[in-house]
Amino acid sequence: MNITLAQAETAVQAAKAKATELGTLMNIAIVDAGANLTAFAHMDGAWLGSIDISQKKARTARYFDMPTGEIGKLSQPGGSLYNIEHSNGGLITFPGGIPIKNTEGEIIGAIGVSGSTVENDHIVAQAGVDAFG
Amino acid sequence: MNITLAQAETAVQAAKAKATELGTLMNIAIVDAGANLTAFAHMDGAWLGSIDISQKKARTARYFDMPTGEIGKLSQPGGSLYNIEHSNGGLITFPGGIPIKNTEGEIIGAIGVSGSTVENDHIVAQAGVDAFG
Amino acid sequence: MNITLAQAETAVQAAKAKATELGTLMNIAIVDAGANLTAFAHMDGAWLGSIDISQKKARTARYFDMPTGEIGKLSQPGGSLYNIEHSNGGLITFPGGIPIKNTEGEIIGAIGVSGSTVENDHIVAQAGVDAFG
Amino acid sequence: MNITLAQAETAVQAAKAKATELGTLMNIAIVDAGANLTAFAHMDGAWLGSIDISQKKARTARYFDMPTGEIGKLSQPGGSLYNIEHSNGGLITFPGGIPIKNTEGEIIGAIGVSGSTVENDHIVAQAGVDAFG
């Protein structure tokens, strides 16, 4: 199973609405089950450097089927996955990337959000995920 | 002046409608005046390899402020821009990338489309540009 | 639908048998529907440079859902896809990569073979595909 | 001396059997004495991000002829090899990569495993090494 463009666009719109509600400017990326980019939106004035980060967060979340922040807990100095970020052409392991599941619980893609604090990034990403209710 | 996300999304939707009218499956990328990705859509079942190509076409069109196919005429063996594709992390110089201008004629971004013949790619990209009527 | 490791290993073994029959030494790569590496084998003494080429052929075949040699016909100087090889981190567009379909005709992955003439590479890749009879 | 494909495939099968025994889904890569990929297997459903990591672990183990986890002890902040992961196109220095020796004790290649905890990754890699008994 793979996320459709219609589903991805719904997730992007939900994330944008949440970003606006929080007064933030976000970059929002959706990848499919194969970690390939499916949809992307850069809100006007959002950080340019977050264009790449949002995509890397989405891919990282699908690469390991967990929220990016969970990986970051293990990739710290002394942690079991220290410097895992050097793999796969660059990972981002702080919060803002979350896998997307279908109603059967199968992972069909992931969302990555970047543009504010990592707390806000995660909240906006979750809003995108919740659009699959 | 810079393309807005709202304008970019309008262009993406116009391009998608044209792609559907032609019976094709396209990847559609919009970059801003700084050649940074602003919006992207991968139609269900479109070529995975065209995700990157559509973005490279959009950037190439903005990097040189002309349709990508114009550059391709000059990058052939013996041509004045032979193998320019090696620059900028990889250019795509066949048709499907077109600069986007505002009503004052100022370039505010570019669109890149990939997924079918280069003729169709160009037609769909033009449909995206024409949404700025 | 996605190729399984068991299917991929069957294809690798069929390709190896054909390579041996032809008296060639091959590198054989299988990617899944998302263009991610699933199985790989480097026959003893095969060209080291073909390790990368076989993987790029497999990805190229899946990226555009056609045999790699078909793309190469269009990417020549003056062709409509001239220098497409600069995309996607490097494509290989001469023969030796072929999509793999399931019995319903759905593409579930691709095989890439490199190590001899492109004619032999293609024959060995086809032997891998034919293992899905 | 160099690992043969037959030996590499035996190591992959032994590692797969151990992975199954542990209830894990692994990516398993074997490189030869020249640090070139010789065999690879991605178990169905294993993390996509571990495709690259398993290969980087195998190369790292052969690059420095020691288990990857030993390098990780020295690459921490303040350590003598701090951030060595930036070299060679990206190293992985946590456990899961182990050199492979022949019966004379000569290093003929290495195995890299990724897909679970680093403890499990190392156990599965060791099972691949032990196939050279």
Domains in chain C: boundaries: 5-130
**pLDDT tens-digit map of A68-92:** 999 999 999 999 999 999 999 999 9
Residue type at A114? S
Contact list, B94 vs chain C (CB under 8 Å): 80-84
Contact list, A34 vs chain B (CB under 8 Å): 48
Residue type at C37? L
Give how far C58 is from chain A: nearest CA, Å: 15
Average pLDDT for C62-71: 98
Residue type at B47? W
Distance, in Å, from the CA atom of B83 to the CA atom of C64, rounded to the nearest integer, reads 23
Kindly give the confidence (pLDDT) of every residue in chain B, 133 residues in length, as a single tens digit, with 9 standing for 90 and above: 899 999 999 999 999 999 999 999 999 999 999 999 999 999 999 999 999 999 999 999 999 999 999 999 999 999 999 999 999 999 999 999 999 999 999 999 999 999 999 999 999 999 999 997 5
**pLDDT tens-digit map of C1-38:** 899 999 999 999 999 999 999 999 999 999 999 999 99
Residue type at C80? S
D25–chain C Cβ distance below 8 A for any pair: no
CATH number of C5-130: 3.30.450.150
Q: Is the pLDDT of residue A3 over 70?
A: yes
Predicted confidence band of residue D126 (pLDDT cuts 50, 70, 90): very high
Of how many residues is chain D composed?
133
Select from C4, C40, C51 the Cβ nearest to the Cβ of D44.
Answer: C4
* Inter-chain touch A88–D52, beta carbons under 8 Å: yes
Predicted confidence band of residue D31 (pLDDT cuts 50, 70, 90): very high
Q: Are strands A97-101 and B37-42 parallel, antiparallel or unpaired?
A: unpaired
B2–chain C Cβ distance below 8 A for any pair: no
**pLDDT tens-digit map of C95-116:** 999 999 999 999 999 999 999 9
Mean of pLDDT over chain A: 97
For chains D and C, tell me whether 3 or more CB atom pairs sit within 8 A of each other: yes
Q: What is the DSSP string of A58-126?
A: HHHHHHHTS-HHHHHHHSSTTSTTTTGGGSTT----SSSEEEEE-TTS-EEEEEEEESS-HHHHHHHHH
Contact list, A59 vs chain D (CB under 8 Å): 49
Mean of pLDDT over chain C: 97
Query: Which pLDDT belongs to residue D133?
Result: 59
* Inter-chain touch A35–C36, beta carbons under 8 Å: yes
Q: CA of A38: how far to CAs of A5, A50, A104, D84, in Å?
A: 6, 17, 21, 34
Give how far C79 is from chain B: nearest CA, Å: 9
Query: Which pLDDT belongs to residue A29?
Result: 98
Q: Name the DSSP class of B30.
A: E
Predicted confidence band of residue C132 (pLDDT cuts 50, 70, 90): confident
**pLDDT tens-digit map of D55-112:** 999 999 999 999 999 999 999 999 999 999 999 999 999 999 999 999 999 999 999 9
Number of B to C CB contacts under 8 A, please give it.
55
